[in-house]
Amino acid sequence: MTGFLDPADFPFVEILEGNARAVRDDLDRLLTADRFVPWPERMLYDEGWDVFGFYWFGDRLPGNCAACPRTAEVVERVPNLVTAGFSRLGPGTHIRPHVGYTDEVLRCHLGLIVPPVCELRVGGETRPWEENKCLIFDDTLEHEAWNRSEEDRIVLLLDFLRKPAADGGRAPTRTRPHRHLEVADPNPGSPGADSRCSG
C-alpha cells in the first residue's frame, strides 16, 4: 500500500518547484547562523533531526518569516496551509516508524539539499527525495525516514488541508504529541524565536 500522491494533482507544486532556487537562497543564508532547533520527541530518533518553522497550525511565525522572506512568500501561496518549515536530517539520522496526528492534512516535502541514500518510506513504498522536486504523502500511514549519507538532508516541509474546512479553513487542532513541535526561544522577539515546525 502506498501513501504517496501524484504531485501533478496539486497546482501549488508548480509554485514550490518553480521557486526552489529562491527558497534555497534563503536556506543558505539561514545556515550561516544555524537557527535550527532539535526536534524534542527523542523517542523518534537518536540525534540529528532539527527544524526551523514558518507556520504552526495556521499561525504565522513572524520572526522566522522575516529571516527567510522569499520562502515565507512562497509558502503563503499554498492553499489551506497549516504548517511549514525547514526540516533537516543530519548524517546517519533515522526517524523511526510512526504515524501522523490527523487525517485532515496531507504533507509535502520540497527537496532542497538531498545527498544520495536519503529516503522516505510511507506504507509499503520507499522513495528518495530529489532536489527541487516535491513529494506529497499521507502521513497517517506508518512512515519513516533516513539519511545514510555523510551530509545534511534538508527539505521544505508543509502540511495542508485535504479540503477546506467548513469554518473557513481553520487549521486542525493538535490531538497527538507524535510529530509536531513547539519550541520557545529563550530570547523572544529574536529572528529565531519562532523555531516551531512540523516534523
CATH superfamily, domain at 4-161: B-lactam Antibiotic, Isopenicillin N Synthase; Chain (2.60.120.330)
Q: What is residue 111's predicted lDDT score, i.e. its pLDDT?
A: 98
Q: What is residue 100's predicted lDDT score, i.e. its pLDDT?
A: 84
pLDDT digits 0-9 by tens, 62-107: 999 999 999 999 999 999 999 999 999 999 999 999 988 888 999 9
Residue type, position 193, single letter: A
Domain residue ranges of the chain, discontinuous segments joined by +: 4-161
Query: Beta strands 37-38 and 59-60: pairing type?
Result: unpaired
Residue type, position 115, single letter: P
Rounded to whole angstroms, the Cα distance separating 134 from 15 reads 11
Which pLDDT band, with edges at 50, 70 and 90, does 42 fall under? confident
Q: What is the dihedral of CA 127, 65, 15, 158, to 10 degrees?
A: 30
- In 3D space, the residue among 114, 192, 118 whose CA is nearest the CA of residue 155 turns out to be 114
What pTM did the predictor assign? 0.84
Average pLDDT over residues 37-66: 90
Q: Which residue has the higher pLDDT, 190 or 144?
A: 144
Is the pLDDT reported for residue 179 higher than 90? no
Q: What is residue 189's predicted lDDT score, i.e. its pLDDT?
A: 33
Is the pLDDT reported for residue 190 higher than 80? no
Average pLDDT over residues 111-135: 97
Residue 167: is it exposed, middle or buried by C-beta count within 10 angstroms (0-12/13-18/19+)? exposed
Share of the chain above pLDDT 90, in %: 69
Q: What is residue 163's predicted lDDT score, i.e. its pLDDT?
A: 80
pLDDT digits 0-9 by tens, 54-64: 998 889 999 99
